[in-house]
Amino acid sequence: MAVYESVTDAIGQTPLFRLTRLGEGIAAPVYAKAEFLNIGGSVKDRAARSMILAAERDGHLRPGGTIIEATSGNTGIGLTIVGRQRGYRVIACVSDRSAPEKSDILRAYGAEVVLAPTTLPAEHPDHLFNVVRRLTEEIPGAWLANQYDNPANPEAHVHTTGPEIWEQTGGRITHFVAGVGTGGTISGTGGYLKKVSGSAVTVVGADPEASTYGGGDGSPWFVESIGHFVHPETVEDLWPESYHRDVVDAFERIPDRESLLTARRLAREEGLLAGPSSGTAVAAALRVARRLGPDDLVVVLLPDSGRSYLSKLFNDDWMRAWGFLEEPRTPQDDEPTVRTVLRTHQLVTVPSDASLADALAVLRTAPGGVAPVVVARPARPYGVVAGEIVGSLSAAAVESAIAAGRARPGDPVTGELAAPLPTVGVGQPLSSAHGALGTEHDAALVLLDGRAVSLVHRAELDPAAAGGGR
């Protein structure tokens, strides 16, 4: 049993677990590297330690200095643990889309947390990345860790994760599967494994279906911390320098529902409580392993713990509300769900850069004359992402504004926007969906896999009026 003089020394040396249940019937063994067992709870402890030590060595970080980072949470936790041990102030700037538990953990370790949006064009001054740059300029002695472009991030995995996996598998690994956020993990670990094996190891990226790394359209998705998102108004889109694209041989593109349900299975069937990006990675690893034989050996990396997501993917109500879960709540439960009243018509939407006249033409074709207004953007093949809905518009409201002379047909719709419609998930029981309407709404958007696919009206959701079972 190990004894450490400092928590910093305890980072790494994580175990592999064979996925016996999820891998049942698959010839190739699949082993999961449990990075959530790191001292700060994630794979990013490795990158954090490596970046801080390199910055001290290079003179970027001096005694009394301040560490600043834009982080989905885990890198910030690693930087805070290591940074505080070494006497630095740490400011973690977190995306307002990250799970709130992560910010609580950051504060618990002594970080100052700044929340900023990431759903803006990259050039917008309030975008997380620009907030971070501004803070770094303003605070004397500040150093921006910049995991996205810092070579010490992938380097951490060249020196630790890669060699550990090679040693743990006795050089038998044939396939390495990991998600790609900054790309540090897959580039460093994959690069090392390729080098040490004479390119015998195949490296597979596990990517959310919509992410651009694996060929998606860059629209938002629900698995935090991996993939590459592109806002439609972003002018110049750059991939992080920590991502070495030549290391990745292939991508498996995993839909959100498959990622989330796989993470839930991982906890229930393997006793490994890991986060959503682990679900993506394991789903990809299982796809890869199904195509392999008994002489192959797959290692999949589980970046963090499921404890940070208890209010999301491990919460059945959350899963249902976003349209990711449809099974009955209990075997006896036969209350009809939104699915039973779902109509098949395509959702009518108004783009946010439309004029009122254009919007009226669209609204007259919408059931009930009401439609969501979505961020103007090129067509997204996967449907309207809930996070890109900026408001709602009704034909009656637009017509009366024009008739009263408060608006002209050529005016932009943005001046007449009402609040976004409430949302309900396809797997939500009718009574709870009806409750979501409150008193002020007559319709709700129906979410399937986090995307708005249809509209339901109050009468359809009335549990008293609904007949039949699920």
Active-site residue numbers? Answer: 44
Confirm or reject binding of residue 450 to ligand PMP (CB under 6 A): no
What does DSSP say about strands 298-302 and 89-95: parallel, antiparallel, or unpaired? unpaired
326: exposed, middle or buried (Cβ count in 10 Å: 0-12, 13-18, 19+): middle
Minimum gap (Å) between residue 184 Cβ and ligand PMP:
4
When CB distances to ligand PMP are compared, the closest residue is 181
* Smallest distance from ligand PMP to CB 294, Å: 29
Largest distance between two CA atoms of the chain: 79
208 part of the interface to ligand PMP, by CB under 6 A: no
Residue of the chain from 42, 66, 80, 161 that contacts ligand PMP (CB under 6 A) = 42
Give phi and psi for 293, each to the nearest 5: -115, 180
- How distant, in Å, are the alpha carbons of 212, 341, 347, 405 from that of 397? 38, 27, 20, 12
Stretch that binds ligand PMP, among 78-86, 179-187, 209-217, 401-409 (CB under 6 A): 179-187
User: Which of 185, 352, 423, 432 is close enough to bind ligand PMP by CB under 6 A?
Assistant: 185
Give the x/- contact pattern for ligand PMP in 230-269, rule: CB under 6 A: ----------------------------------------
Number of residues that bind ligand PMP (CB under 6 A): 18
Kindly report the length of the chain. Answer: 470
Structure tokens at 390: 């900026």
* Residue 365 tokens, joined: 């074709």
Sheet strand arrangement including 202-208: 16-18, 30-34, 298-302, 175-179, 202-208, 250-254
The only residue of 207, 209, 296, 304 in contact with ligand PMP, by rule CB under 6 A: 304
74 lines the binding site for ligand PMP (CB under 6 A)? yes
DSSP state letters, 343-379: --SPPP-EETT-BHHHHHHHHTTSGGGEEEEE---SP
**Under rule CB under 6 A, residue 150 binds ligand PMP:** no
303 touching ligand PMP, by CB under 6 A: yes
Instruction: Using CB under 6 A, pick the residue from 23, 41, 214, 275 that binds ligand PMP.
Output: 275
- Nearer to ligand PMP (CB atom), residue 44 or residue 194: 44
Residues 6+ positions from 42 with CB-CB distance below 8 Å: 35, 36, 74, 77, 78, 303, 304, 305
Residue 72 near ligand PMP by CB under 6 A: yes
Q: Which is nearer to ligand PMP, 17 or 412 (CB)?
A: 17
Per the structure block, which two tokens stand in for 105? 């953990």
Q: Check residue 418 and report its DSSP letter.
A: B
**Which residues of this protein are in contact with ligand PMP, per CB under 6 A?**
42, 44, 72, 74, 179-186, 225-226, 275, 277, 303-304
